[in-house]
Amino acid sequence: MKKCALLLIGTALAGAFLVGTLAQAADAAPAGTTADAASAYRSIGLSLAAAFAVGMSILGAGYAVGRIGSAALGAIAEKPELLPRAMLFVALGEGLAVLGFAFAIWLLLQK
């Protein structure tokens, strides 16, 4: 049931991204020459690449933080002096999401 709900949420988010990119492409390229159509397709491609970059980096960061966080809590329970090192590793996992977001912003600024 949980996997089905996650699949449904992922499909809804992908649909929202697709509608957003199509609306962005419609605003970016008014009707006209084929150069405008190529620009619209480029805009759609960059937007989809940015959405994919953010989505995959956030999924990877969530997986990393989940695995590292649970191991870090187990280590901290046994040795409390490991807290700074454990927080560093959790922050490195979170950095994946920030890096994906920065890459997506860079892609969107390529227009």
- pLDDT per position as a tens digit, 85-104: 999 999 988 888 889 889 88
Give this prediction's pTM. 0.64
pLDDT for residue 73 is more than 80? yes
pLDDT for residue 3 is more than 70? no
Query: Which pLDDT score, from 0 to 100, does residue 50 have?
Result: 85
Does domain 2-108 fall under CATH 1.20.20.10? My reply is yes
Query: Which pLDDT score, from 0 to 100, does residue 28 have?
Result: 60
Is pLDDT larger for residue 106 or for residue 15? 106
What length does the chain have?
111
Query: Which pLDDT score, from 0 to 100, does residue 78 have?
Result: 93
Mean pLDDT, rounded, of the chain? 80
Half-sphere exposure of residue 86: CA atoms within 13 angstroms, side-chain side = 18
Query: Could you tell me which of 57, 61, 35, 41 has the C-alpha nearest to residue 106?
Result: 57
